């Protein structure tokens, strides 16, 4: 997702102070623009790019910023721009692979308000909500929570319950989702297509803020979740037509080293037949922590192939942040 300031939502879908129960101007000021530079040889550069832009929500009086982690993953430089135009460098303090949350510590004073964290569990399908981007009204949106359900991403990612909103914000990464009281209930992650009443519709997916609380203190202290790292295979898997197809292999990753090939169909893990992305990933994670052997049963050109992948910790492949 790139950031282009030369656009605006139609006024009819921009949030208005007369229609909200909270200080809208304060909410605008609590969102910053995040720009990150990533070295060309970084592990994630090929898939996420070397110049990344999105948003971040300020969640503490000292200016701590919560964003979506792929924006700052392996970043060598981060710049934060406030709604008033102040430019402050930032440090990638933490990134949690399981939720996708990232934390940025400003290396200077932002001098902006911060959001109170709400509970996504208290927001119901059909409730009005607001997506707040950097740039005030022009880049913010009145929206509605249209669904809450499981989400599985091909990059070995599962949320038990993600938040889905429409209409969609075109610059979703790190945007703040607010409930009717102005509390932060989600962080923007994706633009996805959902079928609503039989019709395809582009919607935003948000990571629920509720997932931050159990891991927050550990992220502040160690830069990552307190939970053992999940076994990572380094293979992107898709499920068109119900089949689990290996679509891409991470260079030098566990699956590639073990001999898995693009186009292989995943039939099972050990003695367990697997169905769907979420079921596949959960079966792998159920074997143990990163480093565990993952016995895969694959179909390749009509033949059944058994390959054991020595899993890894995804973080071991990534550049670690350096404080300049």
The encoded tokens of residue 179 equal 């409930």
Quote the pLDDT of residue 81.
98
pLDDT tens per residue across span 126-162:
999 999 999 999 999 999 999 999 999 999 999 999 9
The encoded tokens of residue 75 equal 């970043």
Alpha helix (H) ranges present in the chain?
A: 24-29, 45-48, 216-222, 254-258, 276-285
Contact present, 115 and 27 (Cβ < 8 Å): yes
Asked if pLDDT for residue 2 goes beyond 50, the answer is no
Looking at the DSSP assignment, which residues form a beta bridge with residue 68?
101
65 phi and psi, to 5 degrees? -110, 130
pLDDT tens per residue across span 182-230:
999 999 999 999 887 788 899 999 999 999 999 999 999 999 999 999 9
Q: Mean pLDDT over residues 279-300, rounded?
A: 98
Quote the pLDDT of residue 232.
99
Between 135 and 3, the more confident residue is 135
Q: Mean pLDDT over residues 90-113, rounded?
A: 98
Looking at the DSSP assignment, which residues form a beta bridge with residue 308?
295
Residue 254 CA to residue 232 CA, distance in Å, equals: 8
Q: Classify residue 52 as left (phi > 0), alpha (psi -120 to 50) or beta.
A: beta
- Among candidates 86, 171, 85, which has minimal Cα distance to 131? 171
Q: Which CATH superfamily is domain 235-317 in?
A: PDZ domain (2.30.42.10)
Q: Classify residue 259 as left (phi > 0), alpha (psi -120 to 50) or beta.
A: left
Q: Is the peptide bond before 69 cis (omega within 30 degrees of 0)?
A: no
Contact present, 182 and 192 (Cβ < 8 Å): no
Residue 251 CA to residue 248 CA, distance in Å, equals: 9
Look at residue 47 and give its three-state secondary structure.
Answer: helix
The encoded tokens of residue 79 equal 């710049």
- State percent of the chain over pLDDT 70: 98
Quote the pLDDT of residue 324.
53
DSSP E strands, the chain: 31-37, 51-58, 65-68, 77-81, 87-95, 101-106, 128-132, 141-153, 157-166, 176-178, 184-196, 199-208, 235-238, 244-249, 265-269, 272-273, 293-300, 303-310
Report the half-sphere exposure of 261 (CA within 13 A, side-chain side).
Answer: 8
- Among candidates 96, 89, 98, 161, which has minimal Cα distance to 125? 161
pLDDT tens per residue across span 28-74:
999 999 999 999 999 999 999 999 999 999 999 999 999 999 999 99
Asked if pLDDT for residue 18 goes beyond 50, the answer is yes
DSSP state of 232: B
pLDDT tens per residue across span 238-269:
998 889 999 999 999 999 999 999 999 999 99
Quote the pLDDT of residue 83.
95
CATH topology of domain 1-227: Thrombin, subunit H (2.40.10)
DSSP state of 117: B
Residue 290 CA to residue 272 CA, distance in Å, equals: 19
Q: Where do we find the tokens 């609590």?
A: 30
Break the chain into its structural domains and give their ranges. 1-227, 235-317
Reported residue count of the chain is: 324
Cα–Cα–Cα angle for 1, 212, 19, nearest 5°?
70
Quote the pLDDT of residue 241.
83
Contact present, 147 and 24 (Cβ < 8 Å): no
């Amino acid at each position: 997702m790139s950031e282009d300031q030369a656009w605006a939502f139609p006024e009819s879908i921009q949030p208005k102070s007369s229609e909200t129960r909270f200080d809208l101007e304060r909410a605008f000021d609590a969102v910053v623009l995040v720009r990150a530079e990533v070295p060309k040889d970084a592990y994630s550069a090929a898939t996420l790019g070397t110049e990344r832009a999105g948003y971040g929500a300020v969640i503490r009086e000292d200016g701590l910023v919560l964003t979506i982690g792929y924006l700052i993953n392996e970043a060598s430089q981060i710049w934060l721009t406030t709604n008033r135009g102040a430019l402050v460098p930032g440090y990638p303090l933490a990134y949690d692979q399981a939720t996708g949350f990232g934390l940025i510590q400003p290396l200077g004073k932002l001098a902006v308000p911060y959001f109170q964290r709400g509970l996504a569990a208290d927001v119901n399908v059909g409730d009005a909500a607001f997506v707040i981007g950097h740039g005030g009204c022009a880049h913010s949106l009145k929206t509605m929570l249209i669904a809450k359900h499981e989400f599985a991403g091909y990059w070995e990612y599962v949320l038990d319950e993600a938040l889905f909103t429409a209409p969609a914000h075109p610059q979703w990464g790190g945007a703040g989702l607010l409930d009717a009281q102005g509390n932060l209930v989600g962080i923007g992650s994706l633009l996805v297509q959902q079928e609503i009443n039989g019709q395809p519709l582009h919607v935003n997916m948000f990571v629920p803020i509720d997932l931050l609380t159990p891991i927050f203190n550990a992220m502040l202290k160690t830069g990552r979740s307190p939970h053992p790292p999940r076994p990572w295979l380094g293979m992107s898997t898709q499920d068109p037509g119900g089949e689990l197809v290996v679509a891409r292999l991470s260079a030098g990753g566990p699956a590639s080293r073990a001999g898995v090939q693009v186009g292989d169909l995943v039939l099972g893990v050990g003695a367990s037949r697997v169905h769907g992305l979420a079921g596949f990933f959960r079966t792998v994670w159920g074997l143990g922590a990163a480093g565990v052997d993952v016995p895969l049963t694959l179909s390749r050109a009509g033949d059944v192939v058994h390959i054991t992948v020595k899993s890894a910790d995804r973080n071991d492949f990534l550049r670690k942040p350096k404080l300049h």
